[in-house]
Amino acid sequence: MTVPMFAHGDRLTRRDLETISDERRRYELVDGTLLVSPSPRPLHQRVVARLLAALTPVCPADCEVLPAPVDVVLDEFTVMIPDVVIGRRETFTERALVGVPVLAVEVVSPSSRHIDRFLKPARLALAGCPYYWVIEPDEPTLSCFRLAEGEYVLDGEATGDDVVRLEVPYRLELRPADLVSTYS
């Protein structure tokens, strides 16, 4: 595990990010600023697993749905790792999704609330990512946004046992309570 020393105030790049070998945390860049997140909780990972199970069957053949950690390289100074990402197959390289994803999903953790609700959607909207979803597992709530005139607008939302019905990016019905269920 190594985290190199970076000069204070320097804008970091994708190449700098690749020099970090610490796998206990998630390292991302937003406009050259390093973001560090702790390992996710089991509830967080349960939501990711349930969401993958729901999205995979409706994902079209020209796209792929993957869980974190997958780098999404928007530019030399912005490399994000959404909890779940759907991208066109041709945008994936051996190391990352290079370009704009079709859908980015964040499962909010106590340490990431501001980043997942404000910073990441602002940067993804600027890049032109057409869909962004946020899941609050403690409530549980699913908020689905689509890009309209450069800003995300709410396309559907549900809490608990309510169902959100979507037509885009895929026809899908999701119940937030199912995403946190232990199936016991």
Bin 9: left if φ > 0, else alpha if -120 < ψ < 50, else beta: left
Q: Is the pTM of this model over 0.85?
A: yes
10 Å CB burial of residue 48 (0-12, 13-18, 19+) is buried
* 64-116 tens-digit pLDDT: 999 999 999 999 999 999 999 999 999 999 999 999 999 999 999 888 899 99
